[in-house]
Structure 1
């Protein structure tokens, strides 16, 4: 079995590597060539942690495995990332363990890749102002990935603690983009693309604040009860997601479904747009929303890419078990 330590992964896999891997697996999912298995995600009753498993099989890419991990809210005080995870890959022909891969950095880049894919396929090509809601660990990954998709002129941002916006501002400056802290209503009035990446359990953006033509990528809702945008906002948008079943169960769509504002048939797979089976955005005034719930196949795809790159560079560790 190969071991790919967490510490070497940032030097192995680029944002473009992650984008390519996730784009391919979204397309395979839409063709039913890749399958996610039911998610297990529970509060463990210790350290306020959420822990679970995401798993699946990509028949097209011949990748089988699972990601194990979750969210420990007190980790930052210990000098650790709040999100902790490890990916395990298995040989689909024999079931033998193939690789163990550090999953923390990969979780951030695969999540950023998913929102970037939605921006590529769903946002207006003339989008100029990027809005960021949330300033946690994953926000800078989101900003960099988004900036690669459109020729933005400016970044505006909001966070419940504005003192945390410094890393986003620094990243924007590195990208040569002006940066401004704004309130949420101003965000909705100005931004052409909005990325939400929080752990909230209440709506942060309301329908009446959002201007026509906006694309919203909701990337933080991955558990029952979580919510980042008004359910009426979801109902007013053309909705796309990574996986429809998971969107309904634990994604942003759970609330609009529960309130009877939308039906399952109103939710589209982003993979269908990638494959050319759905036109995506239909007009410049249409509001589009991507419900990025975070599927196990994303993790497996980027982990498999990391394994291949580690083998090519001779930095994979091999052990017998």
Structure 2
């Protein structure tokens, strides 16, 4: 069995590696040679401690990603989020590889939004608004700044203290930021990213100006909600996997079309391959719902293993 511990995967992961692997995974997800199975949502003995099991198979590999969220870890100086990827030996049905991927998972999640923004956000995008200052938010900002010339980050925080700490972290990455209220942050944004645990809309649909790209990637589960339903009714909708987005992602709040099966949401992989159209005009409002698919984890794990072999890391 190959084993890549957290310290090694965290040292090997880069934005470029994550972007390339995730882009390939999203293309595979929209094709015919891969299958993604329904996510299983569970919790620990304490219901506040949650985990998700996501699995998939492609022409190259099959496996499982287990992602966990233990909010009490912060009291012990540990990360709330963790992740481990298991790859099968497909000839024998045994686990062939274990990749601990807590930090890598944050890169992978942000990479999905960056891949989508690269084909959906306007090329002249400079102003990014981010809702949330937690674990994932910084990764989102740096990944998006890699694909668009972001010169200003507007931060909507729950408290001034959280906001100020986040601004300091942005500054360490040479990203100028400022605290802004939700309405003004939306009205002046080229891209809006929601990285929260919200179960109710974070802003009003009327605040989003034409041409804005919106990426939503909060804590996917039944009842999660970050965007106003009015925005979903008027924007052009994209996602990583339509069948999953309508079940545990943001698209579960497109009320009528989900009920009668007429929801039109485009898999971003189809845009990447040219089978579907992305942004059609400068005034399009586009929404990308990233619910996270196991193929992303399998492709990232494979890329990390290749990097470990190249650098002589532990496998």
Q: TM-score under structure 2 normalisation?
A: 0.95
Which one of 212, 215, 227 corresponds to residue 214 of structure 1?
Answer: 212
The equivalent residue for 2:34 is 34
**Structure 1 Cα separation of the partners of residues 209 and 217 of structure 2:** 20
Match in the other structure for 2:18: 18
**Structure 1 residue 48 displacement after superposition:** 1.2
Measure, in 1, the Cα distance between the counterparts of 2:260 and 2:143: 30
Q: Which residue of 1 aligns with 2:179?
A: 181
SS of the residue aligned with 1:141? helix
Distance apart, 1:314 and its partner CA: 1.9
Gaps of 5+ in 2: none
Partner of residue 294 from structure 1, selected from 269, 292, 295: 292
CA distance in 1, matches of 2:189, 2:261: 28
Aligned counterpart for 1:118 among listed residues 116, 119, 129: 116
Q: Which 10-residue stretch deviates more, 264-273 or 185-194? A: 264-273
Question: Structure 1 residue 68 and structure 2 residue 66: aligned?
Answer: yes
Measured in 1, the distance between the counterparts of 2:261 and 2:236 equals 12
For 1:20 and 1:55, the matched residues in 2 are separated by 20
Shift of 1:267: 0.5
Contact conserved, 1:221 with 1:252, CA < 8 A, in 2? Answer: no
Give the one of 270, 284, 288 matched to 1:272. 270
**SS of match in other structure, 1:148:** helix
CA distance in 2, matches of 1:259, 1:27: 25
Distance across 2 between alignment mates of 1:51 and 1:113: 21
Aligned with 2:139: secondary structure? Answer: helix
User: What corresponds to 1:48 in structure 2?
Assistant: 48
In the alignment, does 2:222 pair up with 1:224? yes
Q: Distance in 1 between matches of 2:56 and 2:177?
A: 39
CA contact (8 A) 2:252 2:258 kept: no
2:86 aligned with 1:88: yes
State the SS of the aligned residue for 1:228: coil
Q: Which moved more, 1:163-172 or 1:62-71?
A: 163-172
Aligned structure 1 segments of 4 or more residues deviating by more than 3 angstroms: 174-177, 257-265
Whether the 8 Å contact between 2:246 and 2:258 is mirrored in structure 1 is no
Report the count of equivalent residues.
315
CA contact (8 A) 1:232 1:261 kept: no
Moved more, 166-175 or 66-75: 166-175
1:288-317, Cα deviation, whole Å (9 max, x unpaired) = 000000111111111111111112222124
Could you report, residue by residue, the CA deviation over 1:210-253 in whole angstroms, capped at 9, with x for unpaired residues?
11100000011410001111111111110000000000000000
Distance (whole Å) between structure 2 residues aligned to residue 81 and residue 175 of structure 1: 21
- SS state of the match for residue 56, structure 1? strand
Structure 1's 242 and 126: CA in aligned 2 closer, same or farther, altered over 3 A?
A: same
State the distance in 1 between where 2:295 and 2:262 align.
21
Answer yes or no: is the 8 Å Cα contact 2:153–2:176 preserved in 1.
yes
**Matched residue, 2:170:** 172
- Aligned 8 A contact 1:248 1:264 in 2: no
C-alpha contact (below 8 Å) 1:12/1:306 kept by paired residues: yes
2:130 match: 132
Q: Is the counterpart of residue 158 in structure 1 residue 130 in structure 2? A: no
The equivalent residue for 2:97 is 99
Comparing 148-157 and 38-47, the one that deviates more: 38-47
Contact kept, 8 Å, 2:257 with 2:263, in 1: the verdict is: no
* Structure 1, unaligned runs of 5 or more: none
1:94 Cα offset (Å) = 3.3
Return the offset for 1:45: 4.2
Shift, 1:177, TM fit: 3.3
> Structure 1 residues 165, 286: CA separation in 2 closer, same or farther (over 3 Å shift)?
same
